[in-house]
Amino acid sequence: MLHRKLNRILIIQTAFLGDVILATPLVRALKQTLPGARLEVLLIPETRTILRHNPYISDILTFDKRKLRNKFFSLFRLILEIQKRQYDLAISVQSSLTSSLIMVLGGIPMRLGFSRQKFLTHAVPHPSGLHKIQKVLRLMEPLTDQKFDMQTELHWTAAEADRADQIITPLRERRTPIVGIAPGSIWYTKRWLKEYYAELVNLLEHEHIQSVLIGGAEDHRLCEFIRAGSNAINLAGALSVLESAALIERLDLMVTNDSAPLHIANAVKTDVIAIFGPTVTDFGFYPFRKNDLVIEVELDCRPCSSHGGKKCPLKHHHCMKNILPERVFNAIIAKLHSKR
């Protein structure tokens, strides 16, 4: 066991938004185990806002690794800052060489991560067959024998909650179910067909179910295509991530691809129907709450990669094309009826 004289701890997670959300149980577990320790996190700039109101975190550092021209300057400046802060322990959620170098060059004496990572002082075997959250929580084993809740969490301000209420309250007055739909993904093959989403919106409208389309600014045109001719509301690009989280908390159901909104919905405890195409649940990134549902088709070519890609390697995209709108619609209706 690591000794308990740990005053300052750095948690490193410089992956995507969903990965950061999946690390929130680790942050909470650390604070429960070491209540007197100061917890700080290292994120990329794009995910910084998601944890800015987390009550267990004292500070957030950022590392701009996406743009190559900024990466080395950002890394040099970051290492100097880490040296100055004199952390007792660093926990690397990612098994990356860059994270290893940050810990070593930053002069952090105790470095904890999975055994496939370099330059660690304390290594945990990387397990298989578990949800990603359960894997991440294994990083607590050198600190305690205690078991921890895998529920993710997000926190926002009253102003962000008010913004969500401004949108939801008028819709609630209609006394119809409200279903969130997040059709985007940075990986194109992870997207269920936009024509299918459009048909789904129309099917829902016929049953007097309100659709709310959610995403970033980059998803606005996609959502405009989907909502055309319907009463669906396009909020893509209109809300911050935390405003979107507050809104999703107020929905009856969330329909999404294998993408960040899935993890946001889990974190705010809104039931999820997730459409999986090129990726599979064995990767460990599936919705984990008991009322969640994954819709997929069995194909010999699945999975084709760990993240999906820009195009189908076999040029047919059957993993998404074979999931018809009626199947998702029927799953939504069944979920909404079960909630009555």
Tell me the average confidence (pLDDT) per consecutive run of 10 residues in the chain, 340 residues long: 84 96 98 96 95 98 79 88 98 94 97 96 94 97 96 98 97 95 95 98 97 97 97 97 98 97 98 97 96 97 88 95 98 92
Q: Assess whether 60 and 114 both reside in one domain.
A: yes
- Asked if residue 333 and residue 192 are part of one domain, the reply reads yes
Number of domains in the chain: 2
pLDDT of residue 74: 85
Tokens describing residue 87: 């952390």
| pLDDT score of 68 | 62
Residue 36 belongs to domain spanning: 8-140
Q: Examine residue 70 and state whether it is found in any structural domain, yes or no.
A: yes
- The answer to whether residues 107 and 213 belong to one domain is no
Main-chain dihedrals φ then ψ at residue 292, nearest 5 degrees: -80, 160
CA R_g for the chain: 21
Same domain? For 169 and 128 the reply is no
Of 89, 112, 140, the residue at which a domain comes to its end is: 140
Give pLDDT, residue 182.
Answer: 98
- Domain membership of residue 147 (yes or no) is no
How many Å separate Cα 262 from the centre of its chain?
Answer: 7
In angstroms, rounded to a whole number, what is the distance separating the alpha carbons of residues 234 and 215?
A: 9
pLDDT at 152: 98
134 and 188 in a single domain? The answer is no
Q: Which residues contact 228 (CB under 8 A, 6 or more apart)?
A: 198
Collapse the DSSP code of 62 into the 3-class scheme (helix H, G, I; strand E, B; otherwise coil) and give the result.
strand
> Is the residue at 321 inside a domain?
yes
pLDDT of 65 reads 80
Looking at the structure, tell me whether residues 89 and 182 fall in a common domain: no
**Rounded CA separation 1/328 (Å):** 48
Check if the beta carbon of residue 246 is closer than 8 Å to that of residue 201.
no
Q: Is residue 1 part of a domain?
A: no
Locate the DSSP E strands across 74-223: 89-92, 110-114, 122-124, 178-182, 210-213
In angstroms, the CA 79 to CA 107 distance is 9
Amino acid at 84: K
Same domain, 291 and 244: yes
Cβ neighbour number for residue 31 with a 10 Å cutoff = 17
**If you ran DSSP here, which 8-state letter would residue 208 be given?**
T
Q: Chain-centre distance of CA 105, in angstroms?
A: 29
List, in sequence order, every residue forming a beta bridge with 213; answer none if it has no partner.
181, 234
Whole-number Cα distances in Å, 312 to 132, 187, 192, 280: 25, 11, 13, 15
Cis peptide before 303 (omega within 30 of 0): yes
**DSSP structure string for 132-182:** HHHHHHGGGTTT-S------------HHHHHHHHHHHHHHHTTT--EEEEE
Q: 288 with 269: CB under 8 angstroms? A: no
Within a domain: 273: yes
Which of 140, 167, 189 is the last residue before a domain boundary?
140
Q: Based on the domain organization, do 109 and 167 belong to the same domain?
A: no
Same-domain pairing of 113 and 213:
no
Residues with Cβ within 8 Å of residue 170, at least 6 apart in sequence: none
Encoded amino acid at 213, one letter: L
What pLDDT does residue 73 have? 82
Contacts of 292 (CB under 8 A, 6+ apart): 266, 271, 272, 273, 274, 286
In a domain, 2, yes or no: no
- The reply to whether 256 and 316 lie within a common domain is yes
Q: Which amino acid, residue 152?
A: T
If we measure between CA atoms, which residue out of 251, 259, 212 comes closest to residue 235? 212
CB count within 10 Å of CB 151 equals 14
Let me know whether 250 and 328 are in one domain.
yes
Tell whether 97 and 188 lie within a shared domain. no
**Residue 188 within any structural domain of the chain:** yes
- 152 lies in a domain? no
Indicate which CATH number applies to the domain containing 186. 3.40.50.2000
* Domain endpoint, select from 140, 171, 188: 140
Number of other residues whose CB lies within 10 A of the CB of residue 214: 29
